[in-house]
Structure 1
């Protein structure tokens, strides 16, 4: 009788908190990507993420990283003006002003996870699996379609003369040396996306989870702050659209790898366009 009762109790035992954060089966769609995607979204729990043991950083870490980004950009601009040089007139300054603040901020984010946490692999969910690559590629392609459609509408709203980015403004009308153009292409299409994912869907997402909020809250907040954090008011609405598929990749897999792949996919064509413009082909 006792054994039977124990078995019955074990069979009806609710799923533990640890089991609830295991990788969803719906991430392996069996009815095609669209159907699997819909199932994945439906299966995402609205319950808060479990507390991360050993993580001793939160929103303050993100604010520090943002301060590093802003202050380093201001410092570079101030030094250039001190010597009477404009960012638009100096190829080295174009590269330094575009690349250094983002890379430095991402580097500080990683250091924070080592000093105040468990390192980027655990705290930022910084890992890459075949599943991440597959989901990232699919959502990246979807993102390209959405971005093209949104950019077409956005250009008509703001006007063709305003339909550009901060990096595009820096490179407009200048023929960069081939080496500099390739460097900028690698930054826009690869280095920049990795760094931005570390900052927004790594550090900021982790700060949200530490508060015990749901993944939906993390997705929504990081999407909005990602768009605003580029400090390009005219492009904010477009950046919101761009950020959605990237955030969904992070939302579904709970890892940074998929969102990195989706972000790289989304930035590849714009990066290639900037490369061709910079070398005078377009």
Structure 2
């Protein structure tokens, strides 16, 4: 009789030999910071009295992360075996199911943690840098939708390539244990957002996303978990930008 179909993915192949490591991750982080500074200088209004335009907000928020993720993919091409092998890139039914599960767990844990965290730091300090940027400037519908799609779908892909892909692979190359890799990558993910007040909350956000990567050994599951976790915050920012909700 033919074998019954199964939702369990095959075990991932052993990591390919690549010539990149921690230096590659640090280079990508430098690319992210430098491109953000360069793009910010280019699109900054000539007068401090003029508010940034919607185009400025969109470009300044989205482009640096996409450039950094592109640099990470290029490194795997030039000094490795490509993202599919080196970063464990995949996207299949099993990845979606695991990512959805951990993403929903993340939504619950993040919501509870955000309530506690807001009570500790106060409502005025509880807004993320991304939300604060959008909240303080009205956006046309087209720009608000672009920011929503980025925060929900595109941004998580870029961040997972950098943190649970490039950094994770660099630590594995150093022969760290998988739980140590999970712990450090989660901490670096939180700190790299450069929002010191929100670091503890970002660690809570990063834990279920990292667990999806840990338990599957693949990047696709953590991408889905990240996207699920980002949906409600991204939707909230969209509704505020469109004036449907108050900030």
Do both share a fold (TM > 0.5)?
A: yes
Cα displacement string for residues 93-112 of structure 1 (whole angstroms, at most 9, x for unaligned residues) = 10011000100000000000
The offset of 1:81, in angstroms, is: 4.2
Q: What does residue range 243-262 of structure 1 map to in structure 2 within 5 Å? A: 243-262=206-225
Q: Secondary structure at the match of 1:118?
A: coil
Counterpart of 1:187 (choices 138, 150, 156) is: 150
What's the counterpart of residue 279 of structure 1?
242
**Whole-Å separation in 1 of the counterparts to 2:76 and 2:50:** 33
Is this contact kept in 1: 2:16–2:85, CA < 8 A? no
What's the counterpart of residue 108 of structure 2?
145
Q: Secondary structure at the match of 1:125?
A: coil
What's the counterpart of residue 173 of structure 2?
210
What's the counterpart of residue 46 of structure 1?
none
What's the counterpart of residue 71 of structure 1?
34
5+ unaligned residues in a row in structure 1: which ranges? 1-26, 29-49
Is this contact kept in 2: 1:57–1:117, CA < 8 A? yes
Give the TM-score taking structure 1 as reference length.
0.80
**Whole-Å separation in 2 of the counterparts to 1:88 and 1:265:** 32
Q: Secondary structure at the match of 2:243?
A: coil
The offset of 1:51, in angstroms, is: 7.6
The offset of 1:242, in angstroms, is: 0.4
CA RMSD in angstroms comes to 1.9
Q: Secondary structure at the match of 2:47?
A: coil
- Number of residue-to-residue matches in the alignment: 236
**Whole-Å separation in 2 of the counterparts to 1:133 and 1:217:** 25
What's the counterpart of residue 128 of structure 1?
91
**Whole-Å separation in 2 of the counterparts to 1:88 and 1:51:** 51
**Whole-Å separation in 2 of the counterparts to 1:57 and 1:215:** 18
Counterpart of 1:237 (choices 197, 200, 209) is: 200
Counterpart of 1:221 (choices 184, 190, 201) is: 184
1:56 is the counterpart of 2:19: yes
**Whole-Å separation in 2 of the counterparts to 1:159 and 1:230:** 20
**Whole-Å separation in 2 of the counterparts to 1:201 and 1:86:** 40
**Whole-Å separation in 2 of the counterparts to 1:82 and 1:93:** 9
Cα displacement string for residues 6-26 of structure 1 (whole angstroms, at most 9, x for unaligned residues) = xxxxxxxxxxxxxxxxxxxxx
4+ residue runs over 4 A deviation: 85-88
